[in-house]
Structure 1
Amino acid sequence: MIERLPTTDKVVALTFDACEARGAPAFLDHTILKVLETEKVPYTIFASGLFARRNAAELARLAAGDGVRIENHSLDHPQHMERLDPAAIRREVEEADAAIQAVTGRKPRFFRFPAGNYDAATLGVVEATGHKVVHWTFPSGDPARGLTPEHLKEWVLSKTRPGAILIFHVNQRAPATGPALPGLLAELRRRGYRFVSLEEALP
């Protein structure tokens, strides 16, 4: 399981979770997407299969662009995949793969556990499907209620080190992220960081 990039260079990877559970429709946060498009930085979206189906046209458009990848975040975002039996775990992975590939034309290489919850047995089942499991170096906490863009920016800047995998949410449940991103990206660049995709950094 990967929590940081294997480098000491001043690079970071931007990742965004697009979570949708059953009975909880979710949509792309266009405030975030506009910043990423303007800044022209590579990034990865970890989408649940339900989210991929609901947002199919927009995800297909994003995936057709340079430096954008859509990866696997389970079918319906169970908070504790370690409580599922192996067949159910495989189903979560395989059905999300199918949903994402139907949208993007590309089978995901990477998987991220919902809420980061897993155990050794669950990890083994997922890795046996051929996926690399990629989490994050530290939590941004961007879904927290009452979080201000300035606080989010300062927290992430205080924790970022070379090789960091940054995590945010792009499913309209992290209102501070879009406003925080321009200043955050600008300051990281000022500090000498550049942005790389997981695809590039994890061959």
Structure 2
Amino acid sequence: MIERLPTADKLVALTFDACEAKGQPAYLDRTILDVLAAEKVPYTIFATGLFARRNAEELKALAASPLVRVENHSMDHARHMERFDAAAIRSEVEDADAAIQAVTGRKPRFFRFPGGDHDGRSLAEVEATGHKVVHWTFPSGDPARGVTPERLSEWVLSKTRPGAILIFHVNRRAPATGPALPAILAGLRAKGYRFVPLEEALPP
């Protein structure tokens, strides 16, 4: 499992979870996407299969950009996949792969466990499907109630180190993220960081 980039250089990867569970419709946060487009930075969206189906047209348009990749975050954001049997784990991965590929035209290479919940067995089951499991270096905490853009940007800037994989949420359940992003991106650039896509930073 990967939690940081294999580098000592001032490189960071931006990732955004697009979570949708059964019975909990979710949509792309345009505030976040507009900042990323204006800043022209590469980023990865980890989408559930349900989210990909619901936001198909927008995700298809995003995935056409060389700066954007859409990866696998399970079919329906089922927590504690370590409690699933092998067939159920593979179904979560493969069904989401199919849903995402139908939208983007590209099969995901990476997988992220919902909530990060896993054990050695579930990790091995996912890796057996051919995916690299990519989590995050530290939690941003952006969906937390009451978090302000100022607090979010201060936290991320204080915690980021070379090789960090940053995690945020782009499913309209993290209202501080869009307003905080300009300060986060500017602050990291001021410290000499560059933004790289996971695709380039992680070896095949």
Hey, what's the Cα distance between the residues in 2 that align with 1:174 and 1:80? 22
Deviation at 1:79, TM superposition (A): 1.1
Tell me by how many angstroms 1:67 deviates.
Answer: 1.5
Residue 109 of structure 1 aligns with which residue? 109
Distance (Å, rounded) in 1 between the aligned partners of 2:170 and 2:200? 22
Distance apart, 1:196 and its partner CA:
0.1
User: What's 1:38 paired with?
Assistant: 38
User: Where do 1:127-146 residues align within 5 Å?
Assistant: 127-146=127-146
3-state secondary structure, aligned to 1:185: helix
TM-score normalised to the size of structure 1? 1.00
Report the secondary structure of 1:98's partner residue.
helix
Letter in 1 for 2:139: P
Q: Secondary structure at the match of 2:31?
A: helix
Q: Report how far residue 148 of structure 1 moved.
A: 0.2
Q: CA RMSD in A?
A: 0.4
SS at match of 1:38: helix
Note the C-alpha offset of 1:147: 0.3
Residues 31-50 of structure 1, C-alpha deviations (whole Å, 9 max, x = no match): 00000000000000000000
Deviation at 1:75, TM superposition (A): 0.1
Offset at residue 170 of structure 1 (A) = 0.1
Q: Give matches, 1:131-170, under 5 Å.
A: 131-170=131-170
Question: Which position in structure 1 is the counterpart of 2:85?
Answer: 85
Q: What residue identity is the alignment partner of 1:178?
A: G
Q: Which amino acid aligns with 2:79?
A: Q
SS of the equivalent of 1:35 reads helix
1:165-184 alignment, distance < 5 Å: 165-184=165-184
Q: Which runs of 5+ in 1 are unaligned?
A: none
Ranges in structure 2 where 5+ consecutive residues have no aligned partner: none
Identity of aligned residues (%): 79
Counterpart-to-counterpart distance in 1, 2:87 and 2:11? 37
CA shift digits 1:9-32 (9 cap, x unpaired): 001000000000000000000000
Give the AA of the match of 1:12.
V
Instruction: Name the residue aligned to 2:67.
Output: 67
Q: Which amino acid aligns with 1:16?
A: F
Number of aligned residue pairs: give it. 203
Deviations 1:69-118 (A, max 9, x none): 00000000011101111000000000000000000000000000000000
Q: Which amino acid aligns with 1:140?
A: S
